[in-house]
Amino acid sequence: MFLSVFDMFKIGVGPSSSHTMGPMVAGGRFLDHLRAQPFKVHGLRASLHGSLAFTGVGHATDRATILGLAGFLPDTYDHARAETTLAEIARTGTVHPEGLDPLAFAPKTDLLFDYETPLPGHANGMQLMATDAQGDVVVRETYYSIGGGFVVTEAEQAREAVMDARDAKRHPYPFDTAAQMLEMARESGKTIAEMKRANELEHMGPAELAEGLDRIWEVMNACIERGLSTDGTLPGGLLVRRRAKAIHDSLMAEQGMNLSAPHIINDWMSVYAMAVNEENAAGGQVVTSPTNGAAGVLPAVVRYWLNHVPGAVPSRVHEFLLTASAIGGIVKHNASISGAEAGCQAEVGSASAMAAAGLCAVMGGSPMQIENAAEIALEHHLGLTCDPVRGLVQVPCIERNGLGAIKAVSAASLALRGDGTHLVPLDACIKTMFETGQDMSEKYKETSLGGLAVNVPNC
């Protein structure tokens, strides 16, 4: 199994990696599929299923699907150009993707929210279709947005086991589980980050890897800064006010007064995370960590370490990110990072585990202590539901990232107090998380049909 650090950390656009970035990516892939056809098509249609239908409007899935079919991609997203394009498509009922003739697509009639027909491969399913001049469907493809901006077709799902076997032969440290990771660390004498780096270098040179990691942290940190300096009301109709700027201003005013209680450090962790998730809720640029809904946890812990922990140095951020991505890859491979599949335990829980592992690593933790830190953080998110009010990635998501960051730091600290020996292996915790998600009622898995979503007024 190989998932690149740049698979786990993707630069994209809010508010959701699975409901916004994924559908946009699927649209781009479908256009590539059409460009490869020997015949011309005349129109497009799309249908959204499962969680993509139930919470699609709140997650901007409709916008993302339209823009994807118009040729937009998350990593090059231009908000001003997108708004102009959406208005033009609404006016003309036509999209103009590069390399194809203009295609008929009227969003009000050609984009269907199908609440009745779940697709078998994943809760986040969508079908994209192309039609001929008579309106008959001549090309149809099913895509699943499986979390973190990852998109697969039905055929790709079937080939996954074969692809994993090929990966095992290509990479020097092809760990699929935490147990394998620890064994390889013992045998090689390398850290988790060193093994992850060696795997990455099978695909790129050292300079490219370093530049990519620098870029990931640059975007994460810039997102924190924007969130800390921006106030106002978030879009979507809940009238949720941004809070990060006011909290940060208050914390800055208290610095140097020697009056703050020790627990105020929790407010710093929370405000860094909330800044990111307020930006995400506003549709800003974020990095999947491993998802948009959980994008604030890991950057907040990095920023906490750099700003508040003696001895922290920016040169070790790469080690933090590589270690965290190794843990995230194991979680994704053996369970899920999708709230629509396993609840928020799969999103904020996974993010907290990744952040705990990264922090433990840069604070001198051994591979066993790092695995222990990840397990503690994930274990104490087990059973966490995904019940966003009005389908918006705002309540309870923004504050939840702050608490995920606090748990990550606590987990790393506890692990560093021991020698890495512990009762519950990370692999067992990951398996439990996935089984819990399978048992969880669908109304608690990003459908907004239960929990806070139905018990809190939506206006």
Q: How confident is the model at residue 165 (pLDDT cuts 50, 70, 90)?
A: low
Across 181-193, average pLDDT: 98
Cis peptide before 120 (omega within 30 of 0): no
**Contact (CB, 8 A) for 23 and 126:** yes
Q: Which of 216, 205, 280 is nearest to 242 (CA)?
A: 280
- pLDDT at residue 163, rounded to an integer: 54
CA distance 291 to 447: 17
Across 342-358, average pLDDT: 98
Q: Does one domain contain both 144 and 168?
A: no
Across 32-52, average pLDDT: 97
Is residue 186 in a domain? yes
Helix, strand, coil content of the chain in percent (nearest 5): 55, 10, 30
* Domains held by the chain: number: 2
Is residue 407 in a domain? yes
| Mean pLDDT of the residues in the chain | 96
- pLDDT at residue 69, rounded to an integer: 98
What's 43's domain CATH number?
A: 3.30.1330.90
| Owning domain of residue 136 | 17-157
Our CA angle for 269, 275, 278, nearest 5°, is 135
Is residue 4 in a domain? no
Strand-strand pairing, 43-50 and 111-114? parallel
Across 148-155, average pLDDT: 93
Q: Where a domain ends, among 137, 157, 177?
A: 157
- pLDDT at residue 170, rounded to an integer: 87
Q: What is the pLDDT of residues 445-459, one digit of tens each?
A: 999 999 999 999 766
Q: Does one domain contain both 28 and 63?
A: yes
Q: Which of 333, 234, 232, 229 is nearest to 290 (CA)?
A: 333
Q: Which of 291, 367, 287, 285 is nearest to 332 (CA)?
A: 291
**Contact (CB, 8 A) for 95 and 70:** yes
- pLDDT at residue 257, rounded to an integer: 80
Q: What is the pLDDT of residues 91-110, one digit of tens each?
A: 999 999 999 999 999 999 99
Task: Tell me the HSE value of 20 on the side-chain side, using a 13 A CA sphere.
Answer: 31
